[in-house]
């Protein structure tokens, strides 16, 4: 057996023996503002050269997880570099109840609620009290639910343009609204879906999730969809 054949066999054996953990894991860039941008660096370290930038919500493959920096490949461009790990949320499946789940990112909304009306709640950079505080919010503040991690929601605060994590204890899902005209509530988000009922103008409803053109609402014990053109917050 010549040296070339032996080399090829050794290479194949090495690949087969690589641990499953070496496979790239999917992830997404999450910053504390909806329009945030983070630096992509040549190596892991804040003094390393900046080779690019990635926006909040950008999909990445995590090639290596370090203590403070992760090596990633930007899915859209293929560019490879290092990002401070605070800004990298894993998107792979996990049996752990504390894993991040972005299945909520479908327009779910809610508001901050506390036991005392004059109190405020901290919104943090990560899912836990050990993370730094992004901002604080008062009862009644409207939020959009982006994801969940254990007992924490990742939220966007439209009034401040900020993103962070808040304990689920302080979030009540659904927002109060009223209709601005007579509107058909349907079984799905579109006029092709069957009509459930007609909601009169000026009726109080509860907003469950907001899409680009249609909103899921609760009314008179029923749940359905109405056009975004026929309601306003109250």
Query: Residue 31: in which H helix or E strand, if any?
Result: none
Q: Mean pLDDT across the chain, nearest whole number? A: 81
- Whether 100-170 shares its CATH topology with 175-233 is answered yes
Max avg pLDDT among 3-7, 90-94, 135-139: 135-139
CB 112 within 8 A of CB 106: no
State the average pLDDT over residues 166-186: 93
Prediction pTM value: 0.56
Q: pLDDT of 39-61, one tens digit each?
A: 998 887 777 888 988 988 888 88
Domain boundaries along the sequence of the chain: 22-90, 100-170, 175-233
Scanning the chain, the segments in alpha helix (DSSP H) are 3-16
Q: pLDDT band at residue 18, thresholds of 50, 70 and 90?
A: very low
Q: pLDDT of 179-214, one tens digit each?
A: 999 999 999 988 999 999 999 999 999 998 888 788
Residue 117, CA distances (Å) to 96, 156, 157, 216 in order = 35, 21, 19, 28
pLDDT over 70, % of the chain: 83
Residue 105 reports pLDDT greater than 50: no
Range with the lowest mean pLDDT among 2-6, 9-13, 221-225?
9-13
State the average pLDDT over residues 125-144: 88
CB 109 within 8 A of CB 208: yes
CB 121 within 8 A of CB 110: no
> Rounded to a whole number, what is the distance in angstroms from the first to the last CA of the chain?
80
Residue 16 reports pLDDT greater than 80: no
Range with the lowest mean pLDDT among 27-41, 94-108, 111-125?
94-108
Residue 50, CA distances (Å) to 55, 79, 85, 178 in order = 14, 12, 16, 49
In the CATH hierarchy, which fold is given to the domain comprising 100-170? Answer: SH3 type barrels. (2.30.30)
Residue 104 is given by DSSP the state T
State the average pLDDT over residues 166-180: 92
Q: What is the CATH number of domain 175-233?
A: 2.30.30.40
| CATH 3.40.50.300 at 22-90, yes or no | no
């Amino acid at each position: 057996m010549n040296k070339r054949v032996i080399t090829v066999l050794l290479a194949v054996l090495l690949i087969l023996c690589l641990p499953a953990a070496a496979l790239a894991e999917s992830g997404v860039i999450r910053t504390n503002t909806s329009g945030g941008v983070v630096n992509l660096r040549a190596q892991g370290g804040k003094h390393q050269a900046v080779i690019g930038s990635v926006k909040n919500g950008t999909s990445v493959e995590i090639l290596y997880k370090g203590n403070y920096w992760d090596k990633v490949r930007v899915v859209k461009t293929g560019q490879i570099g290092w990002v401070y790990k605070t800004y990298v949320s894993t998107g792979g499946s996990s049996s752990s109840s504390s894993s991040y789940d972005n299945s909520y990112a479908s327009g779910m909304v809610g508001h901050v609620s506390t036991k005392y009306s004059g109190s405020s709640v901290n919104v943090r950079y990560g899912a836990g009290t050990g993370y730094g505080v992004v901002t604080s919010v008062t009862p009644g503040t409207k939020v959009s639910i982006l994801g969940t991690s254990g007992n924490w929601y990742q939220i966007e605060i439209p009034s401040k343009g900020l993103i962070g994590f808040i304990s689920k204890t302080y979030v009540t899902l659904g927002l109060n609204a009223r209709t601005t005209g007579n509107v058909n509530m349907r079984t799905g988000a579109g006029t092709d879906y069957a009509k459930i009922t007609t909601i009169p103008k000026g009726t109080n409803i509860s907003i469950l999730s907001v899409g680009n053109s249609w909103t899921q609402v609760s009314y008179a014990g029923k749940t359905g969809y109405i056009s975004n053109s026929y309601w306003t917050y109250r």
